[in-house]
Structure 1
Amino acid sequence: MEFTTTCAAETQNLARRLGELASPRTLILLYGDLGAGKTSFVQGLAQGLDVAANVNSPTFTIIREYRGRLPLSHFDLYRLDDPDEVWELGLEEYVAAAGVVAIEWPQIAEELLPPERLGIHIQHLGEDRRRLRLEPRGDRHRKLAEELMSDVNLGS
């Protein structure tokens, strides 16, 4: 499942719609190079979850939590070197809670996370264009991705 967006607003609108469709225990893993648009995607996701606060990258704090229709826990694991550090953060508790978890740079934690998840690979295509490839795992996240794909294709 793939989308191509032509500007930051389109990317955020796609993410906003994902936030609107999200249910408790939605786990989103965000992949992409530096500057690909992972944090911008989470900003749109937060809008769809009715988060009123400004969403910023948690690069130095590792995690930021936001209140909305569902709680949003935003992780950035870029600076972590050891999978043990991931567990010290209590990541498993966030994933098991009744909110939405978005993880930038999840590679270090992949083996530790539950198999039910939605991977989103963001590729910068030049200027403001992005390719987003969705890789859902598990029935719930597959249905979520299919509903998002259907909504976007219908112009919702």
Structure 2
Amino acid sequence: MFKYSVTSDAATQRLGAAVGQLVQPGDVLLLQGELGAGKTTFTKGLATALGIQQYVKSPTFTLIREYTSGRLPLYHMDVYRLENGGGDELGLEEYFNGAGVSVVEWPQFIEAEWPENYLQIKINKTATDNEQREFVFKPQGARYTALVAQLEQAL
């Protein structure tokens, strides 16, 4: 486990970009945090590091947005609307085992669909200041343990 604090949206995007430099095809990032925690802001930074020029926005109503113009495809998922189940019908396994990077917001609603290995990133607001956040990186599996060690070195 690795913890890292940021104090602005720009710093959240820089952290996302640092992770974006390390991701590989088939990586799965599970982003957890309350509304407004910075999940999409983090994903914007990751997309920038992948060389994606498109505007990245939360896929709340579409569930999955695919960005294919970068170094790797980015599959940005927001499964908040599946809080009553239904993730098994989305074909998530194809994304998780595909050639891109899957970023899942609100993954607790599809926990039964999680792959065996992943990087869980919990985002906590740490002060009354609206922009201060603590990111908690919890790797599951050797690939993500190595990724978190690289991230810790880079930061």
Q: Which TM-score applies when normalising by structure 2?
A: 0.94
The letter of the residue matching 1:128 is E
SS of equivalent to 2:123: strand
Residue matched to 1:80: 82
Percent identity between matched residues is 44
Q: How does 1:46-65 map onto structure 2 within 5 Å? A: 46-65=47-66
Residue matched to 2:135: 132
Q: Which TM-score applies when normalising by structure 1?
A: 0.93
SS of equivalent to 1:44: helix
Which of the residues 73, 77, 84 maps onto 1:71? 73
- Aligned residues of 2:26 and 2:98 also touching (Cα < 8 A): yes
The letter of the residue matching 1:37 is G
Change (3 A) 1:81 1:6: closer
Distance apart, 1:35 and its partner CA:
0.5
- Aligned residues of 2:67 and 2:75 also touching (Cα < 8 A): yes
Cα distance between partner residues in 2 of 1:97 and 1:104: 18
Residue matched to 1:108: 109
Distance apart, 1:120 and its partner CA:
0.3
Residue matched to 1:150: 153
Distance apart, 1:82 and its partner CA:
3.9
Distance apart, 1:140 and its partner CA:
0.4
The unaligned stretches of length 5 or more in structure 1 are none
Question: Structure 1, residues 41-86: CA drift from partner, whole Å, max 9, x if none?
Answer: 1111101111110000000110100011000000001011343x21
Give the 4+ runs in structure 1 shifted more than 2 A.
none
The letter of the residue matching 1:147 is Q
Cα distance between partner residues in 2 of 1:15 and 1:81: 26
